[in-house]
Amino acid sequence: MSVLDPSRLETAIGTRLRARGLTLALAESCTGGLVSHRVTNVAGSSTYYRGGVVAYANSVKQALLGVRAESLAQHGAVSAPVAREMACGVRRLLEADLGLSVTGVAGPGGGTPEKPVGLVFIGLCSADGAWVEQHRWDGDREENKARSAEAALDLLWRYLDGRLEAPTR
C-alpha cells in the first residue's frame, strides 16, 4: 500500500493529476462508487475528474464500458481481463487520460471456491497500456469495499509517482 496517509491519498492524487494536466474516469462494480466518492471529496476535483460509471450488472459493463461478452463468459465479471476492459472502456467512454476500475466479491455472499469473498481486481488504463492487480481481503463487506477503494487509489498513486513496472498490452 501507499506510504501516504490514507486521508491524504486523494489530495496527493489530485495535486499530481492537476500538475500533469491529466484527467481521470472511474468504472466501479463492487465498490459501488466509493472510489468516486473519495476522489470528489477533494475540493477542485472537477478540474481532473471526468466522471464514473457504477457498472454492477454485466449488461451495464458490456453496454457502457464495452466489456466483451466473451470475457465475461470465459473469465467472469471478477477477473483480470474484465478489470482491464472496464478501465480501458471508461477511459474511452469519458474521454479521460486515465481509467481506473474495480471489480470483485465484497461479500458476505456471492463467493465460490474459485472466486471467494474478498477477491478483487483493480485495473488502470492509460495511453501507456494497462495494469491489473489482484487482491484478496478477509474483512466484512464494508471493510472489503474500503480496502478495495484504498488499493485502487494506491495503484493510481503509484502510476502517477512512476513506480509501476511496464504495462501489459
* Whole-number pLDDT of residue 169: 57
* Contact between residue 29 and residue 37 where contact means Cβ atoms under 8 Å apart: no
* Whole-number pLDDT of residue 166: 81
* Contact between residue 149 and residue 112 where contact means Cβ atoms under 8 Å apart: no
* Whole-number pLDDT of residue 44: 96
The whole-number average pLDDT for the span 93-111 is 97
* Whole-number pLDDT of residue 1: 44
Query: Confidence band (pLDDT; 50, 70, 90) for 6?
Result: low
Statement: residue 104 has pLDDT above 90: yes
* Whole-number pLDDT of residue 167: 78
Three cell numbers, residue 150: 484504498
Mean pLDDT (the chain, rounded): 95
| All structural domains of the chain | 6-137+147-160 (3.90.950.20)
Query: Confidence band (pLDDT; 50, 70, 90) for 50?
Result: very high
Work out whether the CA dihedral 16, 19, 22, 23 comes out positive or negative: positive
Query: Confidence band (pLDDT; 50, 70, 90) for 8?
Result: confident
Three cell numbers, residue 105: 466479491
Q: Please give the single-letter amino acid code of residue 131.
A: W
The whole-number average pLDDT for the span 26-36 is 98
| Residues 6+ positions from 20 with CB-CB distance below 8 Å | 160
- Per-residue pLDDT tens over the stretch 133-169: 999 999 999 999 999 999 999 999 999 999 998 876 5
Three cell numbers, residue 94: 469519458
Q: Quick one: what percent of the chain has pLDDT higher than 70?
A: 95
